[in-house]
Amino acid sequence: MPDPGGRTHGRRDNGLTASSFASVGDVDPRVGEHLLDVLALDGIAAYLQPTIDHDSVTRAVSLPGHPTDRLYVDRYRAADARALVAAEAEAAGRSESMWTPDEPESIDEDAEWAALVASFDRPSATAVPPWPVNEDTEVGVGPVPAEPPSHQEQDAPPEGEEDEEEGYVPPPPPPVPRLSRQTAGALLTIAGGVFLLVLGSRVLSLDPDFAFQLGIVAVIAGVAWLIWRMRDDSPDEDRPDDGAVV
């Protein structure tokens, strides 16, 4: 508890602290210091703050015509603080000009919750309820469904399908296409050219330069033969379009 003898004029609190504060009303600035002392003697934390008005549209801040201070006290001692301030105002004989109390927070959370829970089972006040009609059925009451089919009946395939699936024989794979003589000759020419490039001078005892040149010619001839073979197999672009080919 602060020492009353050490207080100075102009302070805005009574030196006590609290976890949260609540407003108990507006007081005359001339008696604000005295009310802080009264609350401090009872162990109630309190402080003063100038009252200001906020415009809800422009958010402008303005001071009221008659200056007042808003008194904030320990939220858990708000009822005691209101009683002390009301007693001081009544003793001074000017309760209206000295203190304008706020409306106390009178919401009983337990009672509100109990009323909310009780309203769940309350019948609707209107003839047509605001919820779907199919929600008005009682728990456990409803049409008895027919006996569901067994798992064997559900999984049993229709007659005829089982035999067709079990007796299915996949068709034989298509035969491997056979190389034509011209394609085989071109591939052998390319293989011979590669052989001459790599082993021609060693195996055949040829001159290295001659073997290299002969191998290059063989590879080029084989590739040219394959390209010419591809042109022979492709459709003739100069042939007129006879329509779709079936």
Q: Is residue 93 part of a domain?
A: yes
Q: What is the chain's pLDDT, residue by residue, as a tens digit (246 residues)?
A: 444 444 444 568 999 999 889 988 888 888 888 899 999 999 999 999 888 766 666 666 666 667 888 899 999 999 999 999 888 888 876 655 566 666 555 555 676 677 777 777 766 666 666 666 666 666 555 566 566 655 555 555 565 555 556 677 888 888 887 778 888 888 888 888 888 888 877 777 778 888 888 889 988 988 888 888 777 655 555 555 555 554
Residue 115 C-beta-side C-alpha neighbours within 13 Å? 6
Looking at the structure of the chain, the number of domains it has is 2
Q: Is residue 204 part of a domain?
A: yes
Q: Is residue 199 part of a domain?
A: yes
Task: Show Cβ contacts of residue 32 under 8 Å, excluding neighbours closer than 6 positions.
Answer: 48, 69, 71
The string over 81-107, giving b where at least 16 C-beta atoms fall within 10 Å of a residue's C-beta and e elsewhere, is bbebbbebbeeeeebeebbbbeeeeee
Q: Which of 101, 127, 147 is the last residue of a domain?
A: 101
Q: Is residue 241 part of a domain?
A: no
Q: Is residue 206 part of a domain?
A: yes
Domain that holds residue 208: 181-233
Q: Which of 55, 84, 101 is the last residue of a domain?
A: 101
Residue 214 C-beta-side C-alpha neighbours within 13 Å? 14
Q: Is residue 144 part of a domain?
A: no
Q: Is residue 9 part of a domain?
A: yes
Q: Is residue 106 part of a domain?
A: no
Q: Rounded to a whole number, what is the distance in angstroms from the first to the last CA of the chain?
A: 109
Q: With 0.75 as the threshold, say if the pTM is over it.
A: no
